[in-house]
């Protein structure tokens, strides 16, 4: 039997109605094989959690990136709530250990199937919302999701270079220059260090797996340093 008490300790969320938490981790294949039980699958919770997660992420992005246009916000949000990202969030908390599956689904590798893990993550968000309210959802995201956004984990979806260009030219028509100052690491795991300068003064430094990522992170740091974003 899954140990939801240890899970609740781990995420620091203690449910008033633990059946909601259990439902979030219950796949339809399990319900189909245990029809004599009163268990419900997580599909309705997933539907709710999808909307709650989008709101939580949207609220954060709106406040965190005041200079970002609507189209950029939409693109960034999509990269955060996409299946691949949700799977990463779920795996970090070992969600797969607690999922209730039917035998057939288990035998075909369902426990580690990306779509299934992403659905469970959304269902969990829905369960938290119903049991503890939106503030608790935000607290959870503030621990496990928002820091990754702030650290640049989704920088591939952000055009910080364009934002910096707009910010600098708002007050002065200064030239922005990017320079890769160092490459390090073996060929299969190369890292690039980029500097961004305004009027020959370094205003941001970034490290990335590609030159483009390093430049984006340098621009991001420059925006942070200048108070253009929080």
Catalytic residues: 50, 122
| CB count in 10 Å sphere of residue 181 | 12
Residue 32 neighbours by CB under 8 Å, 6+ apart = 102
> Could you give phi then psi for residue 204, rounded to 5 degrees?
-165, 145
| CB count in 10 Å sphere of residue 164 | 28
Q: Cα separation of 11 and 24, whole Å? A: 15
Q: Cα separation of 200 and 100, whole Å? A: 59
CA dihedral 53, 54, 55, 61 (to 10 degrees): 110
**Cα 193 to Cα 128, 155, 201, 229, distances in angstroms:** 40, 15, 16, 22
């Amino acid at each position: 039997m899954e140990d939801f008490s240890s899970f609740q300790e781990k995420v620091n969320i203690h449910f008033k109605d633990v059946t909601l938490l259990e439902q979030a981790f219950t796949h339809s294949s399990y319900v189909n094989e245990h029809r004599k039980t009163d268990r419900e699958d997580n599909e309705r919770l997933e539907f709710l959690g999808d909307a709650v997660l989008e709101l939580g992420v949207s609220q954060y992005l709106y406040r965190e990136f005041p200079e970002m246009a609507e189209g950029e916000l939409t693109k960034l949000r999509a990269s955060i709530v996409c299946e691949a990202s949700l799977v990463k969030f779920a795996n970090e908390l070992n969600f797969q250990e607690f999922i209730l599956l039917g035998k057939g689904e288990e035998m075909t590798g369902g426990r580690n199937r990306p779509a299934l893990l992403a659905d469970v993550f959304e269902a969990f968000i829905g369960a938290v919302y119903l049991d503890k309210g939106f503030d608790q959802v935000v607290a959870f995201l503030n621990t496990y999701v928002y820091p990754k956004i702030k650290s640049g984990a989704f920088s591939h979806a952000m055009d910080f270079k364009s934002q910096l260009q707009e910010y600098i030219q708002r007050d002065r028509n200064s030239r922005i220059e990017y320079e890769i100052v160092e490459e390090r690491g073996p060929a299969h795991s190369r890292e690039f260090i980029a500097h961004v300068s305004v009027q020959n003064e370094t205003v941001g430094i970034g490290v990335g797996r590609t030159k483009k990522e390093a430049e984006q992170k340098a621009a991001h740091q420059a925006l942070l340093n200048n108070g253009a974003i929080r």
